[in-house]
A and B are shown apart, each in its own frame.
Chain A
Amino acid sequence: EPEVTQTPSHQVTQMGQEVILRCVPISNHLYFYWYRQILGQKVEFLVSFYNNEISEKSEIFDDQFSVERPDGSNFTLKIRSTKLEDSAMYFCASTATGTGVEKLFFGSGTQLSVL
């Protein structure tokens, strides 16, 4: 079965450093998403991306965050200057169409720890 792949599974970084989280969506998918879960809290929507641009973003997704699809296969989330409160599990997801979460596939997540 096709799957969304996220790397690395764990990332440790120092506060103030830039970090890039990588995702390889399923190959024929067109819509891409990032969610995150701070330990003990809810899974929160960050951003959706379609046709090389952001289609929706939450209030969490401020100027410190950016997304990119650099080469047609990867979908990355960059945090420009990490803060302690950015420590969380980050989930990437993709789907072929923009409607119907039945076909929304999630990766296994990247655990980001900011020290």
Chain B
Amino acid sequence: GDSVTQMEGPVTLSEEAFLTINCTYTATGYPSLFWYVQYPGEGLQLLLKATKADDKGSNKGFEATYRKETTSFHLEKGSVQVSDSAVYFCALLKGYSTLTFGKGTMLLVSP
């Protein structure tokens, strides 16, 4: 079946460091890919998405490119802030609104 694999956390960075959180997927066909973020005490929020190969999703300085050849959708940010500390979830969608998530990766950014 479909699955999503994310790098283990926590990822600990200093402010202004470069961030990469790896995500790879297994799916037949052409899923849409997403990154969700969960800030402490809040619900999951859609961060960015890409619906076809080579699409780049971007939002709030975060980017991810849908790479079909490597079945990857790695999340990147050039300069993280303390306020980016959260749990990040990679997910895929086939069909309507049923998402398949990864385990989540906690990001901790220190001043």
Contact in complex: A4, B43 (CB < 8 Å): yes
* B27 CB within 8 Å of chain A: no
Contact in complex: A45, B99 (CB < 8 Å): yes
Main secondary structure of the interface of B (DSSP, over half): strand
Residues of A within 8 A of B44 (CB): 43, 91, 93, 106
Residues of A within 8 A of B36 (CB): 106
Interface segment out of the listed B17-25, B72-80, B100-108: B100-108
Chain B proximity of A32: nearest CB distance (Å): 10
Q: How many B residues touch A, CB cutoff 8 Å? A: 23
Residues of A within 8 A of B98 (CB): 33, 45, 48, 56
Chain A proximity of B66: nearest CB distance (Å): 15
Contact in complex: A99, B46 (CB < 8 Å): no
Chain B proximity of A100: nearest CB distance (Å): 7
* A102 CB within 8 Å of chain B: yes
A104 to B49, CA, bound (A): 13
Q: Which residue of chain A is the closest to B98 with respect to CB atoms?
A: A45
Contact in complex: A41, B103 (CB < 8 Å): yes
Contact in complex: B43, A109 (CB < 8 Å): yes
A48 to B93, CA, bound (A): 14
Q: How many A residues touch B, CB cutoff 8 Å? A: 28
Residues of A within 8 A of B89 (CB): 43
Contact in complex: B43, A95 (CB < 8 Å): no
Chain A proximity of B103: nearest CB distance (Å): 5
Chain B proximity of A103: nearest CB distance (Å): 9
Given B49, B96, B103, which contacts A98 in the complex, CB threshold below 8 Å? B96
A83 to B63, CA, bound (A): 40
Most buried by A among B36, B93, B99, B100: B99
Contact in complex: B46, A43 (CB < 8 Å): no
Contact in complex: A42, B4 (CB < 8 Å): yes
Chain A proximity of B105: nearest CB distance (Å): 12
Q: Which residue of chain B is the closest to A41 with respect to CB atoms?
A: B103
Given B42, B96, B97, B104, which contacts A43 in the complex, CB threshold below 8 Å? B104
Contact A106:B45 (CB < 8 A) given known A42-B4, A99-B96, A101-B34: yes
Contact indicator per residue, chain A 75-115, by CB within 8 Å of chain B (1) or not (0): 00000000000000001010100111110111111000000
